[in-house]
């Protein structure tokens, strides 16, 4: 898998510019430009920032055979809160949501 092409694909799927991706990832735009110009994959910390901006994990980034599910910031926060709940509260919440 070409890491740079994957970054471009995910960026284009969202209709983002390089500027928007850099802002979402909270990295300098020059870092992104350097990755493209030098045709060198980003270091792991930068790739992690990019994945966070895309709303995916590093594992999802490297998946080739399955469609990547885009998770919104609200969905990510909801999942984080859900995982912190005790088992009985998770079950109660699932029951509540299944009634809607």
pLDDT at 26: 96
The mean-pLDDT minimum among 17-26, 35-44, 62-71 falls in: 62-71
pLDDT at 40: 92
For 35-64, what is the mean pLDDT? 92
- The secondary structure of the chain, three-state, reads CCHHHHHHHHHHHCCCCHHHHHHHHCCCHHHHHHHHHHCCCCCHHHHHHHHHHHCCCHHHHHCCCCCCCCCCHHHHHHHHHHHHCCHHHHHHHHHHHHCC
pLDDT of residue 66 exceeding 90, the answer is no
Give me the percent of the chain exceeding a pLDDT of 70. 92
pLDDT at 18: 96
């Amino acid at each position: 898998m070409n890491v740079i092409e994957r970054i471009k694909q995910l960026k284009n799927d969202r209709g983002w510019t390089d500027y928007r991706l850099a802002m979402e990832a909270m990295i300098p735009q020059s870092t992104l430009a350097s990755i493209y110009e030098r045709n060198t994959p980003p270091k792991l910390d930068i790739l992690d920032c990019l994945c966070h901006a895309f709303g995916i994990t590093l594992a999802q980034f490297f998946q080739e055979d399955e469609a990547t599910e885009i998770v919104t910031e609200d969905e990510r926060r909801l999942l984080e809160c859900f995982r912190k709940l005790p088992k009985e509260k998770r079950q109660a919440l699932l029951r509540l949501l299944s009634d809607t």
